[in-house]
């Protein structure tokens, strides 16, 4: 898959665009004035693979919160600001890594000039994000894709006149086909890096499937530098995990541990479903410097053969678990000892990787 080359910008410590890997953004649920809770969300998102974090800043209390968070956050922060240019100006002044501005909710031209000047004076990034849910009123008679694109074009006039190019673009729709079309056209028209997302994808598996189709298709076309999955969920963990798996699925994220597991069938010799849940809980807390594939298979008949590509795996036998490394059986343990043994083998594999580095 050939990637569309864009300009590269630095959002805090991470590079977005150019040759840099596609990164994951997730978004906070907690009001940022509740600094400790908000920080916990950021850490949780970082742990499951998020690279940057967006926070809604609806008022001055939230602004004080995000300024506090900036001092402690392990991830670069983007302040998501609507209707309040004054808060956007203050956030830019405070050195928040990125300011998300929505063409449909920004009315003041003078303050937009001031915002660009403030970003220009520091290191801040302008994240220009249009959304079908908040299209500017004068564009609403147009088709939604045209309106999204035109709203971006209009908002680019001021930064381009000022020769300010630390910009990331996004234009999100709730519709999969519109989202794919608009990102194709953004990639054809602009050289700025693109943040890709399907807005308001929904809850549970419907939201996950819709996001996977839209983002997977766009990424497969070589488009997109940063992604967010927008799910109705109480915290940003699931959306971060889904985004990471989408990247992994299209071969754009190699780091970390990937778990492959069989669907189970009448031949299954152990509780694969519970075992997979337990090992996934454990590996959430383990970081691997190189990509590792872990296979959990329900029987010894097809286990090692089906998972030849896995670095490490187990296949359940009659009250036993066979351990295999790249398809070759290395030992057999009782099923009740399988989880601790798998963790031990995994840690030893990771230690070897680290020694080699």
Number of residues binding to ligand SF4, judged by CB under 6 A:
13
CB of 194 or CB of 295, closer to ligand SF4: 295
**151, 158 Cβ separation under 8 angstroms:** no
Where do we find the tokens 């983002």? 215
Residue 40 neighbours by CB under 8 Å, 6+ apart: none
Taking the complex as a whole, how short is the minimal distance between the CB of residue 245 and ligand SF4, in angstroms? 21
Name residues whose C-beta falls within 8 Å of residue 6's C-beta, 6 or more positions apart in sequence: 17, 18, 190, 191, 192, 193, 194, 225
From the list 145-153, 155-163, 300-308, 339-347, the region that binds ligand SF4 by CB under 6 A is: 300-308
CA 177 vs CA 31, 197, 292: distances in Å = 33, 12, 34
The stretch among 138-146, 229-237, 297-305, 348-356 that binds ligand SF4 (CB under 6 A) is 297-305
Q: How far is the CB of 265 from ligand SF4 (least distance, A)?
A: 3
Q: How near is the Cβ of 280 to ligand SF4 at its closest, in Å?
A: 17
Which residues sit opposite 52 in a β-bridge? 25
Q: How far is CA 294 from CA 237, 297, 312, 315, 334, in A?
A: 21, 10, 5, 11, 19
Q: Is 267 in the site for ligand SF4 (CB under 6 A)?
A: yes
Closer residue to ligand SF4, CB minimum distance, 195 or 269: 269
262 binds ligand SF4 (CB under 6 A): yes
**Distances in Å between the alpha carbon of 258 and those of 292, 314, 319?**
6, 14, 26
335 sits near ligand SF4 (criterion: CB under 6 A):
no
Binding characters for ligand SF4, 232-261, by CB under 6 A (x = yes): ------------------------------
Nearest approach, Cβ of 135 to ligand SF4 (angstroms)? 48
Of positions 19, 263, 285, 356, contacts ligand SF4 by CB under 6 A: 263
Candidates 265, 286, 330, 354; binder of ligand SF4 (CB under 6 A) is 265
Cβ neighbours for 120, distance < 8 A, ≥ 6 positions apart? 162, 164
Measured CA to CA, the distance from residue 308 to residue 328 in angstroms comes to 8
Task: State the nearest-atom distance from the C-beta of 315 to ligand SF4, in Å.
Answer: 7
* Residue 268 makes contact with ligand SF4 by CB under 6 A: yes
Check binding of 217 to ligand SF4 (CB under 6 A): no
Instruction: Report in angstroms how near the CB of residue 264 gets to ligand SF4 at its nearest.
Output: 5
The answer to whether residues 62 and 42 touch, using CB atoms and an 8 Å cutoff, is no
Give the binding site for ligand SF4 (CB under 6 A): 262-265, 267-268, 297-299, 301-303, 306
């Amino acid at each position: 898959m050939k990637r569309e080359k864009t300009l590269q910008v630095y959002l805090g410590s991470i590079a977005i665009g150019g040759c840099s890997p596609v990164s994951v953004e997730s978004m906070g649920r907690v009001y940022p004035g509740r600094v400790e809770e908000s920080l916990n969300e950021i850490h949780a998102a970082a742990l499951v693979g998020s690279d940057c974090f967006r926070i809604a800043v609806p008022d001055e209390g939230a602004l004080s919160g995000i300024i506090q968070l900036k001092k402690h956050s392990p991830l670069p922060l983007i302040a998501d600001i609507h209707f309040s240019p004054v808060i956007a100006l203050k956030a830019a002044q405070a050195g928040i890594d990125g300011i998300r501005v929505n063409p449909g909710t920004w009315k003041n031209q003078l303050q937009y000039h001031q915002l660009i000047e403030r970003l220009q004076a520091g290191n801040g990034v302008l994240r220009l994000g249009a959304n079908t849910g908040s299209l500017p009123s004068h564009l609403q008679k147009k088709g939604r894709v045209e309106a999204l694109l035109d709203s971006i074009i209009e908002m680019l006039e001021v930064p381009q006149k000022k020769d300010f190019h630390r910009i990331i673009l996004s234009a999100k729709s709730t519709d999969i086909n519109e989202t794919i079309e608009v990102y194709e056209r953004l990639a054809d028209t602009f050289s700025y890096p693109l943040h890709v997302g399907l807005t308001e994808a929904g809850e549970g598996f419907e939201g996950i499937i819709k996001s996977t189709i839209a983002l997977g298709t766009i990424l497969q076309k070589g488009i997109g530098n940063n992604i967010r999955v927008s799910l109705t969920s109480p915290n940003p963990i699931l959306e971060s995990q889904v985004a990471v798996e989408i990247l992994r699925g299209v071969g754009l994220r190699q780091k970390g541990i990937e778990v492959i597991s069989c669907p189970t069938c009448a031949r299954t010799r152990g509780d694969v479903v519970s075992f997979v849940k337990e090992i996934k809980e454990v590996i959430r807390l383990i970081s691997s410097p190189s990509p590792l594939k872990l296979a959990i298979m329900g029987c010894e008949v097809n286990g090692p053969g089906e998972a030849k590509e896995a670095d490490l795996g187990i296949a359940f036998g009659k009250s036993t678990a066979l351990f295999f490394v790249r398809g070759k059986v290395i030992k057999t343990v009782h099923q009740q000892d399988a989880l601790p043994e798998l963790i031990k083998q995994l840690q030893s594999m990771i230690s070897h990787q680290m020694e080699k580095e």
